[in-house]
Structure 1
């Protein structure tokens, strides 16, 4: 299962966050869903499945999504000034090992049809600019193919 953050809307103290969720099964079946997480609940807003889901499966889809979504986006708990919870940046190795892991995240996102830069941003906790720099360093180290021919 892959879960990708798509957008968030904040209204007052409430934030609603949307996610693209994709399940790919060994037998070739696939479920794509657009889910919204708000407060303590999950809403399924759009579903595409190959082959189609039964009504029973469709009725429990939100329950299936709830745990993976909360794992992906549950902020670190605690009271912070302004009421905004802070997230700690994930531990990420430095140097060659970190660049190898960046290349793995990049390739995995490309294979799944996702945004590879966004995948690296999520994995490392860095900004887009810093993630692009890490991707470039991974290319320079030979972990990724060159972006364009050098002259």
Structure 2
């Protein structure tokens, strides 16, 4: 199992962290999950599995996640010294270059069958609303096809 810290948002005194979790089994089966650590709890936002999980397996997934995610995520965060709140966002260009980056990430995610909005969020470090606005601007600039076919 691997756990990768994807991004952090600090607002006021609260911190919300997102983690990509991947299990790869010896028989070739794979489970990918997006887990969110917010306050005291861990929530699963997205799960993809090959082969697909049954409802019983999904109900047990939270138990599978709990201990490894706690060990990988909560303890390292608790062991860190307190720091001044700041937004953790990679340095990215703005304007035309940012819209080109958004279009590139969006198209790459679509080709891979992944969530394109989530890919843009990861690439830019912005939240969902800001990422959707950037995708819209990239569409307006002709870097992405229109969302719906015009009638």
Q: TM-score, normalising length from structure 1? A: 0.49
Higher relative contact order by CA 8 Å / sep ≥ 6: 1 or 2? 2
